[in-house]
Amino acid sequence: MQLAYRLGIEPSTVHRILVDVHLNRLSHVDRATGEPVRRYEHDHPGAMLHVDVKKLGNIPDGGGWRYVGRQQGDRNRAATPDKPRNKWRDPLMGKAYVHTVIDDHSRVAYAEIHDDETALTATAVLVRAVEWFNQHGVTVERVLSDNGGAYRSHLWRDTCHELGIRHKRTRPYRPQTNGKIERFHRTLADGWAYARCYTSEAERRGDLDGWLHYYNHHRPHTACGNQPPLSRLANVPGQDAQPYSSGMH
């Protein structure tokens, strides 16, 4: 409507023009620059891995407030042993750091949960992720990260060099350039982190591997022609294993 008013033409005409140039949705436009979002996909597995960390509040014993309500959630948090009791100083009882790695071409995902996002932890995850992808027949060539401290460290730089991987970082204040992993994090949250009422943080963490197997082996992905991500890799072991069945997907 605002464009129609400024241009002095009918809203239907504006809509038709925007549809014709594929700019009829805000998701198609970079809000910072107004330029069209140029989506890309590397042409083979391993050409680019995306890495990032998803931070989650730890779940108290008995369940978190999302499922048991604020009042009971506060009581569960206060009663959970070995956790900070001052909700004003640490309302999340500490955090879980999900280190995620996504293959750009196939959308195949690797993830680990840790209690920090230090350079030491992040680089160790990268080494194990590269080994995991190698076991699935994928040779990793590049890795893309944001500008977090772990990814700017000498340890990360040296580890990438030792692995024979070229490291690239996103442009500052442009998280959309790592959009594939941001989209995966939303899927991760909906399908695993908040999919059901976990009665403890240990229970949720123990459910991650099963959900990742479901995501990689069985969950249809629109970018993969409604096939699971591992369908884009050849000769993958366990492709016909039973799907994950816990919670919502």
Q: Give pLDDT tens digits along the chain (249 positions).
A: 456 655 778 777 877 777 776 665 554 444 444 544 445 678 799 999 999 999 998 887 655 445 445 444 444 455 555 544 443 334 445 889 999 999 999 999 999 999 999 999 999 999 999 999 999 999 999 999 999 999 999 999 999 999 999 999 987 766 556 788 988 999 999 999 998 888 888 899 999 999 999 999 999 988 788 889 999 886 554 444 444 554 544
What DSSP letter does each residue of 2-50 carry, written as one string?
HHHHHHTS-HHHHHHHHHHTT-SSGGGB-TTT-PBP-----SSTTS-EE
Residue ranges per domain, the chain?
Answer: 1-37, 49-58+94-232
How much is the pTM? 0.71
Query: Residue 67, SS3?
Result: helix
**pLDDT (0 to 100) of residue 173:** 62
Residue recorded with tokens 């194990």: 128
**pLDDT (0 to 100) of residue 189:** 93
Write out the CATH class of domain 49-58+94-232: alpha beta
What would the two tokens of residue 144 be?
Answer: 């893309």
